Amino acid sequence: EAGVTQFPSHSVIEKGQTVTLRCDPISGHDNLYWYRRVMGKEIKFLLHFVKESKQDESGMPNNRFLAERTGGTYSTLKVQPAELEDSGVYFCASSQDWPSVNEKLFFGSGTQLSVL
Amino acid sequence: RKEVEQDPGPFNVPEGATVAFNCTYSNSASQSFFWYRQDCRKEPKLLMSVYSSGNEDGRFTAQLNRASQYISLLIRDSKLSDSATYLCVVRGNYGGSQGNLIFGKGTKLSVKP
């Protein structure tokens, strides 16, 4: 079974440009999450989709970030315009058993974003 | 105060050693607790859930003390392959709904031959 896949694995862009990250969850997983780790900090929650709906977007840093999950399958996270502080590793995760307290998240290998 | 705090390490131990990691969390309403393992430049992977009664999985033992808001992970007979960063992770219960995962910064373990 394919795991959570993310594309691209690395992206280097200049400040002010736009970047779109993609996540394909495990097939059949209704729940999709975006997390981010900036250098020297802990991994932090960005948002949670249940199917195509945003369940919780309390972690989105500002309105330069836009996440979509049209059709409830793959998701995209767009950063426009990118700023230096957006650099970090963006992880996607999926699960099938929210809101169980025993929910198990499967993470993708992440997209390393570098904004120069 | 950070929501989940861990000693960043690094812990440098010889093969065969026993090593213990600790973690504290600030939100007493937190409901679920986990240890994740993250290898260099890889994704976090669930190592084990942590239950109030304590639980063991092979060489790994996890403990939870809700009164002290403290979680621990003990690794016995360390292997070279145990070298990684260990992330303490807590799930909150916010407003009655299932909260998201809150990560500590991680504790780096290096097991030497």
**Residues of A (18-47) whose Cβ lies below 8 Å from B:** 33, 35, 41-45
Helix (H, G, I), strand (E, B) or coil at B38: strand
Contact between chains at B103 and A43 (C-beta distance less than 8 A):
yes
Residue A26: alpha-carbon gap to chain centroid? 14
Contact between chains at A103 and B98 (C-beta distance less than 8 A):
yes
What is the average pLDDT across B36-60?
A: 93
Residue of chain A nearest B106, judged by CA positions: A42
What pLDDT does B96 receive?
46
Give the minimum alpha-carbon distance from B5 to chain A in angstroms, rounded to a whole number.
Answer: 10
Contact between chains at A107 and B106 (C-beta distance less than 8 A):
no
Interface test with B, best of A35, A105, A113 (most B CBs within 10 A): A105
CA angle B56, B58, B62 (to 5 degrees): 30
Residue of chain B nearest A92, judged by CA positions: B43
Residues B22-61 as b/e (b if ≥16 CB within 10 A, e otherwise) read ebbbebeebebbbbbbbeeeebbeebbbbeeeeeeeeebb
In contact, A105 and B46? CB cutoff 8 Å: yes
Residue of chain A nearest B91, judged by CA positions: A101
pLDDT in tens, B2-47: 789 999 889 999 999 999 999 999 988 888 899 999 999 899 999 9
Q: Where are the beta strands (DSSP E) in chain B?
A: 4-6, 11-14, 19-25, 32-38, 44-50, 55-57, 60-65, 70-75, 84-94, 97-103, 107-112
Mean pLDDT across chain A, nearest whole number? 94
* Dihedral angle of Cα A79, A106, A73, A114, to the nearest 10 degrees: 20
Mean pLDDT across chain B, nearest whole number? 91
pLDDT in tens, A61-94: 999 999 999 888 999 999 999 999 999 999 999 9
Structure tokens at A13: 């862009």
CB–CB contacts below 8 A, A to B? 45
Task: Give residues with Cβ within 8 angstroms of B92, minimum separation 6.
Answer: B27, B29, B30, B31, B99, B100, B102
CA separation (Å) from A78 to A54, A64, A81, A90? 15, 8, 9, 11
Q: Diameter of chain B by CA atoms? A: 48
The Cα B87–Cα B25 span in angstroms is: 13
Give the minimum alpha-carbon distance from A33 to chain B in angstroms, rounded to a whole number.
Answer: 9
B92 near A CB under 8 A? no
